[in-house]
Each structure stands twice: as structure tokens, then as C-alpha cells.
């Protein structure tokens, strides 16, 4: 196959970061991420692990240097380690990093294998360490396996970053204590503003917490220094002085980060979304099944032309979600 050009969108942004949802299924039901009664995709409609690998390798051939696996919960997909092992084979040959966002429930079983495949860090979604609050936010979850999974990841040698969605009235009083715990455990922490994706039972305005207000409170309790660290994503970082802990902020509403967007998202059913907040996409499942990798390249070229300049998120009271699909479908 002829060498295809690097992926650069119509706004001059190089696409070097691919996020891949390997499954829409999850063993939790977080309130901001999915509806209580989700309808999941039948197996026939999702990309096979072989198709996911082939598409990812085509991205790598065209200049993508970072791949993050997500879901749903990626580790609930049967034989997912086959995909992770194969992606690991590309490390040092165009791919700089393969990593994952997980809810942590399955990490005790998989942490050693992830490290063996070449993974060096992982993001774990944890919005509360309080068992009752965790159970409320996740609808059915037990926080104990998550805490144990974090320990297992560290024991295996993975650098762990906690992702915490800041939710007014749910976990806002725990943010400072979460940061203190991360310092004690030598973990990083990234705080994320809730995003209006998919219809959920509650009005998101009820729980939207601007990170500008969170930072004002934290700076009164911690000695925070600006850190120029970049992980390839949209987070801006601070460091808790005198510690190894970084604090990241992802603020899609109060601090738009779209000018430097370098990423696209592939869903488990093969739709390549160019922006979380828009519906523009190309169908890579149809492309690879009907025309092979040449058709995938053609679809990627079309995608570069329609990637929007920015999202249009809003959490005004009563506002409809930016898009109808849930975060769990697109990939976290």
C-alpha cells in the first residue's frame, strides 16, 4: 500500500491521538455517562478485534503516535488483551504510547498483562471513594474493587492517574480529600467538567461545577505550581509542591481547548467521530468491510475535511444535550 500523508485537518491541526472505544458495555452505570436502562449493540454490529487492530495500524502509518483504549469499560470485552498485545508490537515503530481509561474494576486480573504488552500508565475513573456516594453515582457499583485495582496497577508498575468528574451536590466536598489521598498514594488527579452528551434522567445544570471555582478553593488549601507537562490530551496541569502528584484540569466549558485539538474517536461500531460535541463522522466499519484499507484511507481523508473548529457545549438549565449519543458510546 502506498504511503499515505500525515493526518492534518482543514484547520491545520495534526491528528496524532486516536481514542478507541473497544466496547459500549460496562459493569457500572455512571449517571452522567449513560442512561439507567441502556440498549447495547449486538455483536454483529461492532468491529472485530482484528478490524480494530487494522484500523489502528493504519492511523499509526499516517502519523498517529498515541492510542488510548476506552469503552464502556474496555477490560470487559472478551479477549481484549489480544488487541492490546498487538498494539504493543507497534511501540517504537511509529507509536509512542498505548494507554487506557478504565473504571478499575477488572485491573486486579489484567494489570500485569497490560505492563507486559508495553502499557506504562493508565487513567482510572473514580468520582468518589465514599462507598455510598460511589454507589449512587454508578447506580450499582462497589468502590472496593476499584481501590484494589488501583493498588494492583501500581504494584504492576503502571503510573496511575485518577479521573474525577466534578459534580456539584454529589462529590464537590470530596475533591480536596481526593487530592490529599492522591498525594499520599503517589497518584495524579485530573478533574473534569461534566459534558452534555446523551439524554440522562437528571438536568446536568443541577450538577455542573465550573473548575474555575474548584481551583479557587484548592489554591487556598494546597501549594499548587504551574506545570508545563503535556500528556497529549486537553488537560492543563499543576503540581502539588514538594510531591510527585500532578493536578490536571479538563474544562471544556470554562476554558475551551479546541484550538489545539489533536484527536479523533473511533466507536466500537466503527464510526469515527471528529469531535465529542458534533455528529460529523465517517463509517470506518463500512469502509474496511467493503473496500479494505484503501477505503479506510479515503474515509480518513474525507474526515479531515469535516472536523469542526470547536465544540458547542452548553449546560444551561433545560438545554438539550449537545449530541444524542452517550459518552459510553463514543468512548471516554
pLDDT tens, position by position, 301-318: 999 998 887 655 545 555
Q: Is residue 6 part of a domain?
A: no
Residue 100 in marked binding region: no
Residue 78 in marked binding region: no
pLDDT at residue 279, as a whole number: 81
Mean pLDDT, the chain, rounded, equals 88
The residue segments making up the domain with residue 295 are 17-330
Q: Is residue 131 part of a domain?
A: yes
Residue 30 in marked binding region: yes
* Rounded average pLDDT over 52-58: 98
Residue 1 in marked binding region: no
The model's pTM is 0.88
Q: Where does residue 20 rank: exposed (0-12), middle (13-18), buried (19+ CB within 10 A)? A: buried
Question: Measured between alpha carbons, how far is 189 from 196 in angstroms, rounded to an integer?
Answer: 22
Residue 125 in marked binding region: yes
Residue 265 in marked binding region: yes
Q: Is residue 2 part of a domain?
A: no
% pLDDT > 90, the chain? 68
Residue 26 in marked binding region: yes
pLDDT value at 223 more than 50: yes
Q: Is residue 228 part of a domain?
A: yes
Residue 161 in marked binding region: yes
% pLDDT > 70, the chain? 86
Residue 328 confidence class, pLDDT cut points 50, 70, 90: low
pLDDT at residue 323, as a whole number: 54
Highest mean pLDDT among 98-107, 222-231, 258-267: 98-107
pLDDT at residue 306, as a whole number: 86
Q: Is residue 12 part of a domain?
A: no
pLDDT at residue 314, as a whole number: 47
Q: What is the CATH number of the domain that holds 325?
A: 3.20.20.70
How is residue 215 written as a grid cell?
A: 481551583
pLDDT value at 321 more than 60: no
Q: Is residue 183 part of a domain?
A: yes
* Rounded average pLDDT over 164-186: 96
At 247, which helix (H) or strand (E)?
strand 246-250
Question: Measured between alpha carbons, how far is 279 from 34 in angstroms, rounded to an integer?
Answer: 18
pLDDT at residue 278, as a whole number: 74
Residue 33 in marked binding region: yes
Residue 32 in marked binding region: yes
Q: Is residue 5 part of a domain?
A: no
Integer angstrom CA distances of residue 126 from 133, 135, 166, 209, 311: 11, 11, 11, 17, 25
Q: Is residue 255 part of a domain?
A: yes
pLDDT at residue 316, as a whole number: 56
Residue 77 in marked binding region: no
Residue 119 in marked binding region: no
Residue 3 in marked binding region: no
Residue 129 in marked binding region: no
Residue 326 confidence class, pLDDT cut points 50, 70, 90: low
Q: What is the pLDDT of residues 251-281, one digit of tens each?
A: 865 555 566 788 899 999 999 998 877 788 9
In this structure, are strands 188-193 and 17-21 parallel, antiparallel, or unpaired? unpaired
The number of distinct structural domains making up the chain is: 1
Residue 64 in marked binding region: no
pLDDT at residue 82, as a whole number: 98
Residue 101 in marked binding region: yes
Residue 25 in marked binding region: no
Amino acid at each position: 500500500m502506498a504511503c499515505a500523508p500525515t493526518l492534518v485537518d482543514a484547520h491545520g491541526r495534526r491528528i496524532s491521538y486516536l481514542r478507541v472505544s473497544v466496547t459500549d458495555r460496562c459493569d457500572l452505570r455512571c449517571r452522567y455517562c449513560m442512561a439507567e436502562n441502556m440498549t447495547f449493540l449486538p455483536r454483529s454490529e461492532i468491529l472485530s478485534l482484528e478490524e480494530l487492530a487494522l484500523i489502528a495500524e493504519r492511523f499509526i502509518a499516517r502519523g498517529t503516535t498515541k492510542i488510548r483504549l476506552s469503552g464502556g469499560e474496555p477490560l470487559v470485552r472478551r479477549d481484549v488483551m489480544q488487541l492490546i498485545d498487538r498494539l504493543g508490537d507497534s511501540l517504537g515503530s511509529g507509536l509512542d504510547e498505548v494507554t487506557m481509561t478504565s473504571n478499575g474494576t477488572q485491573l486486579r486480573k489484567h494489570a500485569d498483562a497490560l505492563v507486559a504488552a508495553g502499557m506504562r500508565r493508565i487513567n482510572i475513573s473514580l468520582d468518589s471513594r465514599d462507598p455510598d456516594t460511589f454507589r449512587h453515582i454508578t447506580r450499582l457499583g462497589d468502590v472496593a474493587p476499584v481501590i484494589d485495582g488501583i493498588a494492583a496497577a501500581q504494584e504492576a508498575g503502571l503510573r496511575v492517574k485518577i479521573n474525577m468528574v466534578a459534580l456539584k451536590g454529589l462529590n464537590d466536598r470530596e475533591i480536596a480529600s481526593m487530592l490529599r489521598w492522591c498525594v499520599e498514594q503517589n497518584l495524579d488527579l485530573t478533574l473534569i467538567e461534566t459534558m452534555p452528551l446523551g439524554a440522562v434522567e437528571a438536568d446536568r445544570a443541577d450538577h455542573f461545577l465550573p473548575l474555575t471555582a474548584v481551583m479557587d478553593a484548592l489554591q487556598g488549601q494546597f501549594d499548587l505550581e504551574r506545570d508545563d507537562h503535556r500528556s497529549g490530551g486537553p488537560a492543563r496541569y499543576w503540581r502539588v509542591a514538594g510531591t510527585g502528584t500532578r493536578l490536571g484540569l479538563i474544562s471544556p466549558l470554562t476554558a475551551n481547548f479546541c484550538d489545539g485539538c489533536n484527536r479523533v474517536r473511533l466507536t466500537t461500531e466503527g464510526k469515527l467521530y471528529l469531535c465529542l460535541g458534533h455528529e460529523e463522522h465517517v463509517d470506518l466499519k463500512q469502509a474496511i468491510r467493503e473496500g479494505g484499507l484503501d477505503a479506510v484511507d479515503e474515509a480518513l481523508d474525507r474526515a479531515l475535511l469535516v472536523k469542526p473548529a470547536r465544540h458547542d457545549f452548553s449546560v444551561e438549565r433545560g438545554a438539550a444535550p449537545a449530541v444524542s449519543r452517550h459518552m459510553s458510546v463514543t468512548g471516554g
